[in-house]
Amino acid sequence: MKYVLFFISLFFFQTNFQAQRLDPLKTNDFQKQEIWVDSILKNMTIDEKIGQLFMMQAYSNSDKKHEDFISELITKYHIGNLIFMQGTPEKQAVLTNKYQSISKLPLMIGFDGEWGLDMRLKNTYKFPWNMTLGAIQDENLIQKFGEHLGKHCKRLGIHINFAPVVDINTNPENPIIGNRSFGENKENVTQKAIAFSIGMQKMGVLANAKHFPGHGDTDTDSHVTLPTVNFSKERLDSVELIPYKMLFDAGIGSIMTAHLSIPSLESDVKLPTSLSKNVITNLLQQELGFNGLIITDGLNMKGASNYATSAEINLVAIMAGNDLLLIPNDVAGTVNIIKKALMLKTLTEERINFSVKKILKAKYWLGLHNYKPIDLVNLTEDLNTIQDELLHRKLVENSLTLIKNHQNQLPFTEFQTKKFAYVKLGDDAGNDFLQMLKNYTKVDEISDQNLDGLISKLKPYSHVIVGFHKSNANPWKTYKFTDKDLVWLQEIARVKNVILDVFTSPYSLLQIKTFANIENILVSYQNSKISQELSAQLLFGVFQAKGKLPVSIGENFKEGTGFATVNLNRLGYTIPEEVHMSSQILAKIDAFADTILKEKMAPGFQVLVARKGKVIFQKSYGYHTDEKKIPVKNSDVYDLASLTKILASLPMIMKAEQEQKIPINAKLFEILPSFKNSNKANISVKELLSHYGRLPAWIPFYQGTQVKNTKANSPKFYSATKSDSYPLEVAENLYITKSYTDSIYKLIKKSNLIVNQEYLYSDLGYYLFKEALENSYKKPLNTLVDEAFYQSLGADRM
C-alpha cells in the first residue's frame, strides 16, 4: 500500500535530538524564490513586517461596514493574510479580488474547510467527515479527496486550508473533535493525514495539520475554556505526536497550534500550549525540526483569550515561536505592543524577520509572486462537479462497515422468501434509504405511537431493518439515541431478526448495553442521501462491505472491526458518469417525455436506463390514464405484453450465439433437426430475428381447441383446475393439456411461407427459439434465463 508506514521503526523518531527535516516551503526554483523573498523583505518597513503576522477573519455574508473594516486593516495596518468565514463563493471571490487589489503585497487567503468548502460556504460541495474517511482502507481515495478539495480551494483563490485534523480521538466524549478525527488508531490517522495532505498540496494549496500537540483526548472545548491534557511526555511522544512527525517527513506545509494546558510540556498550567515557547520553539521547531509555517488556533477562542489582554496574548504568541496570529483581537494594540517590545529589546527585529521570511516563502510557493485575480465565470459550477459526486460515492462505498453479521445473513439472498419491514429511529429522515430498499424487494415502513402497537404490526415480517438516522448538518450535532429509541430497539430485536443500520457516529452504539439480540449491525456513519442509497445497496449485495471501524465501541467492537461481504453483482444505482455516460445527455429524455405527453401519445410511462450493471436513469412521467387521477411512480407495476421475447428469449439467444450453440448464421434445420425436410429448413437465425424469415404474422392456434359449432373451449383440451393432465396455465382458472404444445409446433412446421422475402413481424420464430434453447441446454427456458441473468440481478419480477 502506497502509504503504509513502518511503525516498527518509530523509536528512531522518539529520540531527543534536533531533527533535520526538509523545508516544506522550499520550491524547485529555490534560488529565484530566495531572490524574490529577500528583495521584498529588505524593502519592507517594520509596520509592513508586523502586518504580515496577522491573519484576520473576513466574511462574505456581512455588510459594507465589515468590508470597509477589512479594507482599512489592509491599507492602514498592512495586514498580509485573511481567513474567510461564512458566506457564498461568489461573494467571497469578488471580495478576494477587491482586497487583493488594494494590498501592496499579495494576500495569503486561508480557509477552514475540513470536509469541503461547505464547512463555511453555501452552494459548495460537502464531502464526508474524517470519521467516515477513517473507515476506508484505500489511502489512494483519501489522496483523491485531498486533490478535489485542493482544486476547489485553488479555484476560489484560497491558498491554505486548515486541514487535516490529525487529533487521535481516544476520548468518545470529546465535544469538539469526534467526527472530525480519522479515529483512535495512530497509524490509521497518520496514513490518512499524509494521503490527504499530499493530495491537497499537489494542487498547490498548503495543508495544515491541527491541533498540535493533540486535542483528541479532551472532554472540554477550547472555544469556550482551556482543556487540560494530563499525559506524560512519553505518552504524547508515542501517540499524539506520531502523526506530526510523519507529516513533517512527508512535507506538510503548516501546523496549527492548539489552546491546551499540558503540564508535562508546560509547567505554567494557565499558559496555553499555543503561547508556550517550550511547546512551539523547543518542542515543535527544535526537537521535532519543523520548518514550515506555524499558525495559532483562533486567538479569539476562550482557550487563549482568557489568559491576558488581546494585545499581550498576541505578543506572547509571537515570542513563543508562532509565525501567524489567527483571528487576533485588537490589531492596533498588538502593533503598538510589538513595537514597544522591539524598542525594549524583549523582541528583536531578527525574530520578526524569521517569521516574515517564512510567510513570504509560503506566498512564493503558492504562486503569489505571479498573482492573478479569480475568474468569476462558472465559479459555482466548478465547485460542484459530477467528478466530486463520483468521488463522494466511492468514498462512502468504501467506508460502510459491517461490524456484526450473524450467520452471514448479509447480503440478503433468496429474499423472495423473506418479508421485510423498515422501522425508522432517530430524528432525521430516512426516505432515501427506504426508497432504495424498495428497489430490490417489497419493504413496508412500519410505525406506531406506542411500542406494543409496533410489535404487533411487525408480527408478519421475517426481517426488520432498523435505520437510526441523525442529523447530517455538521459533525457536532448530537448522535445519541433517546431512551425511547434504546428501549424500542431492544424490544424489536428481542422478537425479530433485526438489521441495525447506523447513519451517524459509531460512538452512538456505546449507549447500547447489550448486542445479544441485535443480529446484524452496519455502520453507515452519516445520514446523507448518498450514504442512505449506497447502504441499502450493500445490504442486497450490489458491492462488498470493505470498511473498518476507526474507533472502538467499548469492548464489544474494537477498532479495526469490519467484515467483508460477498459481492452478488446485483443491479446497482448510480449516476451516469460512473459508467461513462453523460447526465446532460440523459436529461434530454425529459424533453422527449414532454412531447409524448403533449401529443397524447401516452398518458404516462416510466423510463429506465441501465449500463454495466448500474441503473443510471429512472424516472416516471404523466398518469396511469387520460383522466389524470393517479400519477405514475417508479414503484408502479404494469401488466406488460411482448416482453418475453426481449427479456427472456433474446438474451439467451445472444448467450447461445456467443457459446456457438446457436450461431447467428445457422439454418433452422441445424438448430431444430425436426425441421430438416420442411419449407423452413434453410431460414437462418438472423432472418428469424430480423423478421425476414417469410413466416406468417401469426397462427390462430386457439381455433383447434374450440368446439366447432359453439366456439366454446373444448373439455378435450381445457380444464378449470391444474393437474398432471392439464399443467399449462392459459388464463385465470383455465389450463390446457400438455400435448397441445406438440400441435402448435406441427402447425408452425406445416404453415405456408409468405411469397416475398420482406419484413413481416412474426412471433412464430420465438416459439422455435424456445424449443432450440431448451434442447441445447437441457433446461426449461425460464430456468435458463433466471440462472444466467436474473438471479444475479436480484430480479424476481418484470
User: Annotated catalytic sites, by residue?
Assistant: 223, 297
Q: Which DSSP letter does residue 122 get?
A: T
Question: Nearest CA to 364 among 125, 617, 37, 650?
Answer: 37
Q: Which residue is associated with the grid cell 422527449?
A: 592
Q: Which residue is associated with the grid cell 423472495?
A: 416
Q: Are strands 520-523 and 401-405 parallel, antiparallel or unpaired?
A: antiparallel
Q: Which DSSP letter does residue 374 get?
A: P
CA distance linking residue 669 with residue 666, whole number of Å: 8
Q: Count H helices, E strands: the chain?
A: 30, 20
CA distance linking residue 422 with residue 436, whole number of Å: 12
CA distance linking residue 399 with residue 562, whole number of Å: 10
Is the Cβ–Cβ distance between 167 and 535 less than 8 Å? no
Q: Which DSSP letter does residue 713 get?
A: B
Is the Cβ–Cβ distance between 567 and 538 less than 8 Å? no
Is the Cβ–Cβ distance between 506 and 549 less than 8 Å? yes
CA atoms within 13 Å, Cβ hemisphere of 700: 4
Is the Cβ–Cβ distance between 485 and 512 less than 8 Å? no
Classify residue 321 by burial, with Cβ atoms within 10 Å: 0-12, 13-18, 19+. Answer: buried
How far, in whole angstroms, is CA 775 from its chain's centroid? Answer: 48
Q: Which DSSP letter does residue 613 get?
A: T
Residue type, 291: N
Q: Concatenated DSSP letters for 41-97?
A: HHT--HHHHHHTTEEEEE-SSS-HHHHHHHHHHHHHH---EEEE-SB-HHHHHHHHH
Three cell numbers at 362? 509560503
- Sequence-distant (≥ 6) Cβ neighbours of residue 416 within 8 angstroms: 441, 796
